[in-house]
Amino acid sequence: MLILSTRVLPRGGGVSKAVSIWGDGNRPHSLIDVTKEIQGRDVLLVTHGFSVSQSEGEANLCGWNTGLTLGSVVVLGILWPGDSRWIPKIDYVVEGDEAMASGKLLADFINSNFGGALSISFASHSLGARVVLQTLSGLNRKAHTLFLMAGAIDNTCLIAEYSSVASKVQNISVVASRSDDVLKWAFPTGNVLGGILSRGIPYVHEALGREGPASPYPANLHADWQIPDDWNYGHSDYLPDAPPIEPVALPISAFPGPAPNQKPAWSAALMSGRFDP
C-alpha cells in the first residue's frame, strides 16, 4: 500500500511543504511509482483521524485496507499530523488547522499528478473528515465516492462550511454512532472552543459522526447512516489497531451485530458495498 504523507515528523510536528510518498515499511517512493499505479484505475484515498502518530496511522490504514474488497481499485493511504503538539487530546481545536493545511496540500498534489486516474474517491475517520473535505473543495475534478466514518466535524458541514463539496461527489456516505463517547464528550467541548478561536458555530451543532448529517440532506447522500445503538460501536472501532483484518460479507445486520474484533472489518465491508464506480 502506497501512502501520501503531509507530515514533517513521525510524531507531532506540523504540515510539510510537499507531499511525500511512502510504502513497504516507510521506504520512500517516487512520484512515478504513484502515477504508474493509478493510471487508468479507480483510486480510493483513505485517511485517519486526530491524535494518531505516523506509525499508528500506517497501522490503521494498512490494516483497514486488508478488509476492503474492491477488486482492481487502487487504495492509497493519507498520513497527516493529527497527533497532539502540546497536550494530548486538549489541542483538538487547533488540529483542525493542520487538517485544512493538509487538505489544501493534497488538493494541489492530486490536481497536478492524478490526471491519469479513472476516478477518485475518499474515505476518512474522525477529524480526517476535514482533511478530505478540504481536499475535495480544492479539486479541479469531481470525485466518485465520499465515505465519512465517525466524522469529528459539525454535522452541518455538508450544507454549510463544505456545501460546495456535495455537488462535486457522485455518492456520499456517512457512518455515525450514538455509542461514540469521544464525540459525545470531547467533540462538543472542542467545538465550543473551536468556534470561539477559529471556526464553526459554538454551542449549537452536534458531531457528524454521532448524530449524522443535518438536514436538508444532499440528494446524493446515502440514506442509511446510523449504526444500531446496541452494537456499542465506539470511536476507535472503525479502524484496526494493527493489520491484518479478515474481510467479512455484508450485511451484518442481525443482533448483536459484529463482534468487537469484527467491527473494523464491518466498516471496511460497508465501504466496499457503497463503492460502485
pLDDT at 64: 97
Question: Quick one: what percent of the chain has pLDDT higher than 90?
Answer: 71
Q: Where are the domains of the chain?
A: 3-274
Average pLDDT value for residue range 210-228: 94
Give 87's pLDDT tier (boundaries 50, 70, 90).
Answer: very low
Q: Is the pLDDT of residue 195 over 50?
A: no
Give 90's pLDDT tier (boundaries 50, 70, 90).
Answer: very low
Phi and psi dihedrals of 270, rounded to 5?
-65, -45
pLDDT at 212: 95
The string of pLDDT tens digits covering residues 149-171 is: 999 998 999 999 999 999 999 99
Nearest partner of 143 among 124, 127, 159, 166, judged by Cα: 166
pLDDT at 97: 86
Unique residue bearing C-alpha cell 465519512: 148
- Note whether 95 and 101 are within 8 A (CB): no
CA distance 84 to 41: 35
Strands 27-28 and 3-7: unpaired
pLDDT at 95: 46
Give 251's pLDDT tier (boundaries 50, 70, 90).
Answer: confident
Identify the CATH number of the domain defined by range 3-274. 3.40.50
Average pLDDT value for residue range 87-97: 50
- Note whether 2 and 77 are within 8 A (CB): yes
Q: Is the pLDDT of residue 209 over 90?
A: yes
pLDDT at 203: 43
Give 205's pLDDT tier (boundaries 50, 70, 90).
Answer: low
pLDDT top residue among 43 and 256: 43
pLDDT at 25: 66
Q: What region does 40 belong to: left with phi over 0, alpha with psi -120 to 50, or beta? A: left
Give 187's pLDDT tier (boundaries 50, 70, 90).
Answer: low
The string of pLDDT tens digits covering residues 131-146 is: 999 999 999 999 999 9
Give 277's pLDDT tier (boundaries 50, 70, 90).
Answer: low
CA distance 44 to 131: 14
Average pLDDT value for residue range 36-57: 96
Average pLDDT value for residue range 239-267: 85
End-to-end CA separation in angstroms for the chain: 20
CA distance 159 to 219: 11
pLDDT at 255: 61
Average pLDDT value for residue range 196-213: 67
Between 7-11, 80-84, 219-223, the lowest mean confidence (pLDDT) is in: 80-84
- pTM of the predicted model as reported, rounded to 2 decimal places: 0.91
Average pLDDT, the chain: 88
